[in-house]
Chains A and B, each alone.
Chain A
Amino acid sequence: MADPPHRRRAHARSSDLERYAGLFAERTRVMRSSAMRDLMAVTAQPGVISLAGGLPDTSTFPPQAFAAQMTRIAQESAAEALQYGPTEGFRETVDCIVEVMGAEGMLPDPEDVIVTTGGQQAIDLICKALVDPGDVVICEAPTYPGAIPVFCSYQAETIQIECDEEGMRIDELEQTLERLDSEGRRPKFVYSVPTFQNPAGVTMSMERRRRLVELARSRELLVVEDNPYGLLRFGGEALPPLYQLDGGDFVIYIGTFSKILSPGIRLGWAVTPPPVMEKVVLGKQAADLCTSTLTQYFVREYFGDGRWREYIESLIDIYRDRRDAMVEALRRYFPPQATWTEPDGGLFIWATLPSYIDTSDLLAKALREDVAFVPGQAAYVDGRGRNSMRLNFSAGDEDEIREGIRRIGKVVAEQVELYGALTGGHPAPAVSQPEKEPENVVPFRKTGEGSA
C-alpha cells in the first residue's frame, strides 16, 4: 500500500498555543467552537436520520444531462473553462441570473450584479464592505444560523428582531431604530430572509414588506434581502421580493443557485447599488479573485436548454410531499404543548417546545434514538431559542421524515412527562428561566389541528 499522504504533524505544544494566542486577531475571540459543534459531529454518523442539515435533494438531477453539459464544455470551451474569469462573473452567468430573478418579477440592471461563491460569500462581502467592529447589524430572531458567524467575524453588534407568523416584527424594528437613534447609532443594514425563512419557515406578509421598504427609504437604511428559497413555493400566493418593491435603491439582494440547481457548484450572486458594488468587487478580488469559471460554464450550459423551470417544478413536487409528511408526523407524534410553522415553501419547519426543554440537551437524547435536528440556539446570538428546533424536510424521503419525527416526538414526550413529575404533575409553563420574555418562548402559532 502507498504511504498515506502527508498531513500537518499534530506537534502543537501548549507553548505553541500560547504563542499563537498572542497572534490571533481580536475577531477570533468571538468565533466560537462549542460543545454544540462537537454534538453536531455525531449527527453525521451512519444510521442517524438527520433532519439537521439544510441540504436540497440533488439526487433527481439527471446524470445524463450533467454528463452531456460537462462534455460539451470540455469539447467546446476547455481552455476558457479552465481559466480565470472576471471578478464580477461572466456576462452569460449574469444573464442566467437576470432570468432567474425575472421569474420572481425582478428586473435588475446586469451592471448591478456580481457572481459570488455561493450566497454565503455575498453575505461575507457585504459585511466586508460595510461593517466596522462595533457596528450594529440587525437581523431576524431567529435568523439564518450561517449568517451569525459572518456577523461575528466582522465584530458586528448583532441585534435580533422578533419574528412571528408574518415575519419580522416591523413595529419592534422601528422601536429598535428609535432607540439606536437616541444613542446616536445607525445600523449598517437590516438582514432578512423574507420568504420561507431559514430557520423559521415563515414568510413576511405583504404589509410588512411594504412597511420595511418604506422604512428603508425614509431612513435611508440598507436592507439585505437573502432569497434562496423564493422559487420553491408549494402553495399560497407569491409575494414580491423586497428588491422588487424597492427597485434596488435601498435593498441589496442576495440570490443563489444552491437550492434551485446545486449547492455543490457554489454559485450565488449579489445585486447592489453601484457605489456598494465597487467596494464589494474590491472585497471579492481580495477574497478569491473570481468565482469558479468551470461552474459558471456549467450554469450557462444548463440554462441554455431552457429546462431549468421544469427542474424546479419537479423539486417543488418532491418538497411539497415531504413537507406534508413532516407536518402530518408532527401532528401525530409531537405533544400538544409543542407548536410549529407550516411553510408554503423552502426547506424548513421551526418547532417550539415548552420553555423548560433545552433543545441542545434534547439533541443528546435524540441522538441516542439516532435522529438529529438543529437546536434553536444556533439561530440566535444571545442564547435565546433554547426551546426551539429547526427541522429540514428536503433532504430525506417521506418515510425517513416520519420516522425521524416519531423518534423526536418520543424524547420530547419523555421530557414533558418528566417535567410534570418534577413539578408535581403540572407541566405548566416553566418558571425556570424568568429572564425570557413570553413572546420569545412561543414566537409562532401552530396552524391547523393538533392542539387538542
Chain B
Amino acid sequence: MKVAVLKGGRSLERAVSLRSAARVEDALGRLGHEVLPLEADVELVKRLVDEEPDLAFVAMHGPGGEDGTAQELLEILGIPFTGPGVAACGRCIDKVLAKHEMRSGGVPTPDWLAFNETAFRELGAADALGSLEERLGFPLVVKPSRGGSSLGVKFAESRGDVPGALVSAFSYDDRVLLERFVDGRELAVSVLGGEPLPIVEATPHSDDGYDFEARYEIGRTSFVCPAQLAEADAVAVTGAALAAYESLGCSGFSRVDLILGADGPQVLEVNAIPGLTDTSLLPQAAEAAGMSFERLVEKILDLALTPAAA
C-alpha cells in the first residue's frame, strides 16, 4: 500500500510532528508499505494529486494538521486518512468548544470561563475579571483555547497574575480560557478504535513547581504505565476518557488527558492526534498493552480503512 505521511507544517509543534513522522515512516517501511513522506507546504495538494496515495497518515500536531484543515483537504481529494475526522479535530483543537461538548455530554471537566480577545479590547470584559475569584477561585490555569503542548499555559496564584497570564495566552490564540485548578494525579488515557489502552501517569519532578513545560519532558517528568490506581479509580478514569472520546466524535485514535482529584476524574482535554515520538504517551500505552509500534501503526491504518470499526 502506498501511504503518504503528512508532517511538519507551520504549527509551533512542527518539531514534534517531524519526530512523530520519522518514527511512523520507519514503521511503515518495515511493514512493507511504500512510504511517501510529505511536508505540509504549498506543494502538498499537488503532490497528493500526482502521487495518488492509497492512504494518508496524518502525523501533524497543532493548528493546520490537528484542527481539521488537512483532514478537510484529504476528504475533498477522496484519500482515506488516519485519526479523527474533520469535525472531531475541530472540536478537540478548541479547548473551549471541547469543554462545552463534554459538559453537555455529561463528561466531568473543570469549571471554566472563556474570553475572546475582542471582549477585552472592545467590550470591556476586564470588568468581569473581578468576579473571577468567586466563580472559579484561585489558583487557576490560563490557557489559549487552541494550541498544543504547554505553550502559553500559565498558572495564576492570585488576581494580580491574571492580566499577564492572559497577555501570554492571547499570544497563541484570540480565545483563552481560565480554568479552575484541580489538584490531583495527572493521567492520560489513549483510545485506539474506541478501546482504551492502559492508563499512563505523569509525575513531574517536584522541584519544577508548576512548570508546564516540564510536563512531558523525559528527565523532568516520570511516566508510569500502567498507572498504579485502585480498581474503582481506574474504572472511573477509563469511563470518563471514553465518554470524552465519544462526546467529541473521535475515531481512529486520540489521547485524553485527565486529572484524578478528590472528586474523581476531570477531563482537561482530548488530543485528536497525540504525539507518536519515542517519548510520547500513546506508544507507551500501546506497548504496555503488548502492542509494538509497528502493530500500533498497522492498527491505525486498519482503522482508517474501515471507519465502521472505529
Contacts and interface: CB of A to CB of B under 8 A. Distances in A.
Are A and B part of the same complex? yes
B278 A365 contact: no
Contact of A35 (B117, B126, B213, B292): B213
A423 B165 contact: no
B168 A361 contact: yes
A33 to B, nearest CB: 7
A431 B126 CA distance: 16
Interface residues of A, number: 46
A15 B287 contact: yes
A356 B167 contact: yes
Interface stretch (B78-86, B95-103, B144-152, B265-273): B144-152
B203 to A, nearest CB: 14
Given A11-B293, A432-B160, A434-B160, A418 B117 contact: yes
B295 to A, nearest CB: 11
A11 B292 CA distance: 10
Contacts of B126: 421-424
B218 A432 contact: no
A14 interface: yes
Contact of A13 (B162, B168, B292): B292
Interface stretch (A37-45, A143-151, A153-161): A37-45
A439 to B, nearest CB: 19
Contacts of B169: 361
A362 interface: yes
Given A10-B23, A17-B278, A422 B163 contact: yes
Contacts of B219: 21, 24, 28-29
B171 A361 contact: yes
A364 interface: yes
Given A11-B26, A45-B10, A356 B218 contact: no
Contact of A418 (B22, B26, B167, B223): B167
A90 B292 CA distance: 54
A6 B20 CA distance: 19
A32 B211 CA distance: 13
Given A15-B287, A358-B168, A361-B171, A35 B150 contact: yes
A450 B220 CA distance: 44
Interface stretch (B11-19, B69-77, B241-249): B11-19
A5 to B, nearest CB: 14
Contact of B165 (A17, A45, A432): A432
B86 to A, nearest CB: 23
B14 A417 contact: no
A14 B225 CA distance: 10
A63 to B, nearest CB: 31
Interface residues of B, number: 50
B283 A39 contact: no
Interface in B138-182: 149-152, 160-172
A9 interface: yes
Nearest to B16: A38
B172 A34 contact: no
B284 A14 contact: yes
B217 interface: yes
> Per DSSP, are chain A's interface residues mostly helix, strand or loop, or mixed?
helix
B163 A364 contact: no
A35 B150 CA distance: 8
Interface in A1-35: 9-17, 21, 24, 28-29, 32-35
B133 to A, nearest CB: 16
B151 A364 contact: yes
B121 A13 contact: no
Contacts of A14: 223, 225, 278, 283-284, 287-288
Interface in B213-257: 213, 217-220, 223, 225
A423 to B, nearest CB: 5
B21 to A, nearest CB: 10
Contacts of B150: 35
B25 to A, nearest CB: 8
Nearest to A387: B164
B15 A38 contact: yes
A45 B150 CA distance: 22
A421 B217 CA distance: 35
A10 B22 contact: yes
Contacts of A355: 164
B26 A10 contact: yes
B217 A364 contact: no
A357 interface: yes
Contacts of B12: 38-39, 42, 364, 367
Given A35-B149, A356-B163, A423-B126, A21 B26 contact: no
Contacts of A418: 117, 120-121, 166-167, 170
A42 B171 contact: no
Among the interface residues B10, B169, B223, B279, which one has the most CB atoms of the partner chain A within 10 A?
A: B10
Among the interface residues B217, B219, B223, B292, which one has the most CB atoms of the partner chain A within 10 A?
A: B219
Contacts of B166: 418, 422
Contacts of A39: 12, 151
A23 B293 CA distance: 23
B217 A13 contact: no
B129 interface: yes
Contacts of A424: 126
Contacts of B288: 14
19 contacts: A10-B26, A14-B225, A14-B283, A16-B278, A42-B12, A355-B164, A356-B164, A358-B167, A361-B151, A361-B152, A364-B171, A418-B121, A419-B164, A421-B126, A422-B126, A422-B163, A431-B160, A432-B161, A432-B164
The 4 closest A-B pairs by CB, nearest first: A432-B164, A12-B278, A14-B284, A361-B171
Interface of A: 9-17, 21, 24, 28-29, 32-39, 41-42, 45, 355-358, 361-362, 364-365, 367, 415, 417-419, 421-424, 430-434
Given A13-B292, A421-B120, A421-B121, 12 more contacts: A13-B278, A14-B278, A17-B278, A17-B279, A34-B217, A38-B149, A45-B10, A361-B169, A364-B172, A365-B171, A418-B167, A418-B170
